[in-house]
């Protein structure tokens, strides 16, 4: 058999019998020497080959096959799915860094939760509120298909105005694909003005946990373990997937919020439970409430790392630099994209997106577009003119 | 692959106990191999910052564990490779743990993004400091499916 051990990504494939288990370490070293030798010799061949299954098994609703044997579920925001290359992969942990000045992380949470419920997936929701169930009443409903169609037409026309034709070739192939028939089985456009129908919220597939009065995290950990045991990962087709949404995990009103190592230990154990199940966990947290060193540790735990930022009111400099500034409610930054079963990283064209509410109903994410320089004013912008990505919106760098 | 049993709640496993047991397992596994293959053994720890989490913050025990593993490299002439994240420690007042790690190492490999930011052709740069030979090298690298290609800056 062949052996490939790549500890850094957690991807490990072993085909050994009992006797050869002892020689495992020898193979590890030979892998390293082969890798270094190959790198030095600049050969393109490799002695390792990926064991691909020939046919992708069909899965239940709300699941889509991705590359490298991964399976995605939708974030509930079609634009975000596209940015992330399909959605959130099963077995991954998504972390969202909140901005204390605006509740934009709630937009991400609501769409994530509503998407799961609408497609029959199970949901475990935890928040520092005394009665987390109250939040379920704010979940949005899928947009009516009539509204959908009118929305589909506008972006094409808008894009025709904003982006010259020769740049269309730089867009991904699936950007302009129809996919509308299968679309509603995987992801929906959500109407933030329409609440989710009662029968979705009152179903048996939702469990809510309040973490406000918990002295330690063992209750939450046990609830997560019980929840995730319903979706064990095996090689067959997946009948059902689960979603865990943990809101404002280190909020100060929680009794455990000063137990830094315990919180980290919880995230670590949640991550390992999620990794061996068919589910996705989203954890939002306010980074300003953690010490810088722990904030970094939390960020390293994430498979997918996002952050949201508020837009200051009346920021005249930003208004001059960006088109469509008035419609923006905030910024979304993509810091890390989950990579499962592969060590090749994803390099995004852009990592900062504006959050807009189209018609005050639909959440859209757009690349930032630099406004034309006003030549009449006579001042020159000190910042660079390149349109590369930036994660520090405060510096006004593009 | 050997597993470190992380104390999840009260299972009677202390961080120190868990690490001592892990060291014992490693020693036992290598001892059981034929002597001729000892030098071909690589102990890979991925990664140390998670080991601190498993030890519930007792970084001293993790450092002790690391020192003990290092003794194995002279006892068995095997290799020890560990991974850690520098940015976690650079925000601390006293980054003792990381400094100790750097001190213990014979070869230090630093992987970081390019100063100019992210790129699709070059994923980052490696700085290799070989204390034994007093040599520092710098490479660019690109991560591919089965291999990591390293090349001198400017070439690919």
Helix (H, G, I), strand (E, B) or coil at A71: strand
List the structure tokens of A310.
Answer: 């508020």
pLDDT exceeding 70 applies to what percent of chain A?
67
Q: Using alpha carbons, select from A86, A177, A193, A89 the residue that is nearest to residue A142.
A: A193
Which of A294, A297, A299, A345 is best to mutate for the B interface (most B CBs within 10 A)? Answer: A297
pLDDT at A47 over 70: no
pLDDT tens, residue by residue, A73-124: 999 999 999 999 999 999 999 999 999 888 999 999 999 999 999 999 999 9
The overall average pLDDT reported for chain A is 76
Which is nearest to A76 in space by CA: A245, A273, A269? Answer: A245
Read off the pLDDT of each residue in A164-185 and give the average, rounded to a whole number. 52
For chain B, report the end-to-end CA distance as a whole number of angstroms: 35
pLDDT at B53 over 70: yes
Average pLDDT, chain B: 85
Question: Would you list the domain boundaries of chain A?
Answer: 63-142+184-366
Give per-residue pLDDT as tens, B2-19.
555 554 444 456 777 888
Going A112 to A114 to A116 to A121, the CA torsion angle's sign is positive
Please tell me the predicted confidence (pLDDT) of residue A90.
Answer: 94
Give the pLDDT confidence score for residue A167 in this predicted structure. Answer: 59
pLDDT for B91: 77
CA distance readout (Å), A167 to A310, A348, A390, B91, B118: 30, 17, 21, 42, 22
- Identify the pLDDT of residue A21: 36
Instruction: Tell me how far the alpha carbon of residue A224 is from its chain's centroid.
Output: 19
CA distance A129 to A135: 9
Residue A346, pLDDT > 70, answer yes
The SS3 of residue B16 is helix
**pLDDT tens column, B86-143:** 888 887 777 788 888 888 899 999 999 898 888 888 999 999 999 888 899 999 999 9
Q: Which residue in the set A22, A30, A265 is minimally distant from B33, CB to CB? A: A22
A337 has a pLDDT exceeding 70 = yes
Q: Which residues pair with B135 in a beta bridge?
A: B130
User: Mind telling me how many Å the CA of A26 is from chain B's nearest CA?
Assistant: 5
Residue A191 half-sphere exposure toward CB, CA atoms < 13 A:
14
Q: What is the pLDDT of residues A138-174, one digit of tens each?
A: 999 998 765 444 444 445 555 555 555 555 555 554 4
The CATH code for residues A63-142+184-366 is: 3.40.50.300
* Distance from the B149 Cα atom to the nearest Cα atom in chain A, whole angstroms: 5
Ordered by start, the domain boundaries in chain B are 14-105, 106-156
The ipTM, to two decimals, is 0.89
For residue A44, give every residue at least 6 positions away whose Cβ sits within 8 Å of its Cβ, in sequence order, or none: none
Residue B80: pLDDT band with limits 50, 70, 90 = very high
A17-26, A148-157, A172-181: which range is least confident on average? A17-26
Nearest CB partner across the interface for A296, out of B40, B87, B151: B87
Q: Name B75's Cβ contacts closer than 8 Å, sequence gap at least 6.
A: none
Asked whether the beta carbons of A196 and A140 are under 8 A apart, the reply is yes
Distance, in Å, from the CA atom of A88 to the CA atom of A116, rounded to the nearest integer, reads 12
Mean pLDDT of A202-218: 85
Q: Do A26 and B41 touch (CB under 8 A)?
A: yes
A236 vs B40, more confident: B40
Q: Given the DSSP bridges, would you call strands A304-310 and B79-82 parallel, antiparallel or unpaired?
A: unpaired
- Among B42, B47, B147, beta carbon nearest to A38: B147
């Amino acid at each position: 058999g062949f052996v490939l051990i790549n500890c850094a990504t957690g991807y490990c494939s072993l085909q050994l019998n009992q006797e050869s288990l002892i020689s495992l370490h020898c193979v590890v070293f030979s892998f390293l020497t082969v890798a270094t030798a190959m790198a030095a010799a600049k050969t393109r061949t490799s002695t390792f080959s990926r064991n691909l299954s020939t046919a992708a098994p069909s899965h239940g609703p709300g699941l889509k096959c991705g590359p490298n044997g991964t399976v995605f579920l939708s974030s509930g925001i079609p634009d975000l799915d596209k940015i992330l290359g399909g959605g959130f992969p099963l077995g991954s942990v998504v972390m969202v860094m909140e901005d204390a000045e605006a509740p934009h992380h709630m937009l991400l949470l609501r769409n994530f939760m509503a998407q799961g419920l609408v497609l029959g997936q199970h949901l475990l929701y935890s928040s520092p509120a005394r009665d987390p169930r109250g939040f379920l009443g704010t979940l949005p409903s899928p947009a009516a298909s009539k509204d959908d169609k009118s929305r589909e037409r506008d972006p094409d026309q808008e894009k025709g105005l904003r982006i010259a034709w020769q740049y269309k070739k730089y867009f991904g192939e699936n950007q302009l694909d129809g996919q509308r028939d299968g679309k509603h089985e995987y992801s929906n456009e959500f109407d933030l003005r329409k609440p989710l129908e009662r029968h979705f919220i009152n179903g048996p597939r939702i469990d809510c946990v309040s973490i406000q009065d918990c002295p330690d995290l063992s209750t939450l950990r046990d609830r997560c373990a019980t929840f995730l045991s319903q979706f064990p990962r095996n090689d067959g087709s997946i009948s059902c997937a689960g979603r865990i949404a943990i809101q404002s995990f280190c909020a100060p009103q929680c009794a455990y919020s000063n137990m830094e190592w315990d919180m980290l230990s919880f995230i670590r154990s949640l991550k390992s439970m999620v990794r061996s199940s068919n589910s996705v966990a989203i954890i939002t947290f306010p980074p300003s409430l953690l010490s810088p060193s722990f904030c970094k540790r939390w960020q390293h735990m994430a498979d997918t790392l996002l952050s949201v930022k508020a837009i200051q009111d009346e920021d005249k400099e930003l208004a001059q630099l960006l088109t469509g500034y008035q419609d923006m409610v905030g910024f979304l930054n993509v810091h890390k994209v989950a990579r499962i079963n592969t060590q090749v990283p994803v390099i995004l064209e852009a990592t900062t997106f504006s959050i807009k509410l189209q018609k005050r109903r639909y959440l859209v994410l757009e690349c930032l577009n630099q406004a034309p320089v006003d030549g009449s004013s006579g001042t020159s912008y000190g910042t660079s003119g390149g349109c590369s990505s930036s994660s520090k919106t405060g510096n006004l760098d593009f | 692959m050997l597993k470190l049993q992380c104390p999840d709640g009260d299972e009677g496993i202390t961080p120190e106990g868990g690490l001592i047991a892990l060291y014992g397992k490693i020693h036992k596994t290598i001892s059981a191999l034929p002597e001729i293959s000892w030098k071909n053994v690589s102990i890979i720890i991925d990664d140390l910052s998670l080991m601190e989490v498993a030890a519930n913050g007792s970084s001293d025990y993790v450092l002790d564990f690391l020192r003990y593993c290092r003794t194995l490299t002279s006892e068995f002439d095997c290799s020890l490779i560990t991974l850690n994240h520098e940015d976690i420690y650079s925000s601390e007042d006293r980054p003792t743990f990381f400094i100790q790690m750097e001190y213990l190492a014979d070869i230090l490999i630093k992987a970081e993004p390019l100063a100019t930011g992210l790129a699709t052709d070059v994923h980052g740069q490696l700085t290799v400091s070989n204390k034994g030979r007093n040599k520092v090298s710098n490479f660019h690298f690109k991560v591919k499916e089965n291999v990591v290609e390293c090349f001198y800056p400017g070439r690919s």
